[in-house]
């Protein structure tokens, strides 16, 4: 799989996020963003490394360098765990006091207003607008690709990892394959 195909797959992911956002599907948008970060970060996973380590390293190296957010990579990882495993802001890391829970603004909501409401209620939540998180992920991917393009070994590793992703195959190609292999069976 070439970087062009990698970029095409990531582009469809962003279109899915945009569609969720446009249709006010907040949780599915967050699920796609966090899953997308997981997927891209996995392309740089070191041998024997777990998801948390690759996720937080990728977020530190690319996403948080591209866009400043009011939270740490570990807090984003904890938020990812809460969203993907329970549709909740709570995670094992937040329950243990190792990461703050993240609150989200979306649509026309203002981060500052939600931050003030959380503060007045006694909560220490970093508040992120979903559009800001999506933008940080998008810019993080762009920075990742820019830095990767300088190193052929990294490009090779990305291409090999992304080569394992599902591919879209049109019905007509499957039908043609079955037709050709059927004629091989008859002979």
Give the per-residue pLDDT at 1.
40
- Kindly report the pTM of this predicted structure: 0.85
What is the distance between the alpha carbons of residues 78 and 100, in angstroms, rounded to a whole number?
Answer: 8
Give the per-residue pLDDT at 44.
84
Nearest one of 6, 83, 11, 93 to 52, comparing CA atoms: 93
Give the per-residue pLDDT at 161.
66
> Can you name the residues that pair with 105 across neighbouring β-strands?
129
pLDDT digits (tens, 9 = 90+) for 19-49: 999 999 999 999 999 999 999 999 888 889 9
CB 104, CB 128: distance < 8 Å: yes
């Amino acid at each position: 799989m070439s970087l062009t195909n990698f970029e095409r797959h990531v582009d469809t992911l962003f279109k899915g996020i945009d569609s969720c956002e446009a249709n006010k599907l907040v949780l599915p948008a967050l699920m796609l963003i966090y899953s997308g970060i997981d997927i891209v970060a996995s392309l740089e996973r070191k041998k024997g490394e777990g998801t948390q380590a690759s996720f937080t390293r990728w977020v530190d190296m690319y996403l948080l360098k591209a866009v400043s957010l009011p939270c740490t990579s570990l807090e984003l990882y904890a938020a990812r765990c809460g969203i993907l495993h329970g549709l909740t802001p709570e995670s094992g890391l937040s329950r243990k006091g190792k990461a703050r829970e993240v609150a989200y603004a979306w649509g026309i909501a203002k981060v500052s207003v939600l931050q003030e409401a959380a503060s007045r209620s006694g909560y220490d939540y970093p508040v992120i607008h979903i559009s800001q998180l999506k933008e940080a992920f998008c810019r993080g991917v762009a920075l990742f690709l820019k830095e990767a393009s300088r190193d052929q070994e990294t490009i090779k590793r990305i291409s090999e990892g992304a080569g394992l992703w599902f591919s879209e195959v049109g019905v007509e190609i499957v039908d043609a394959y079955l037709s050709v292999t059927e004629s091989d069976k008859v002979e």
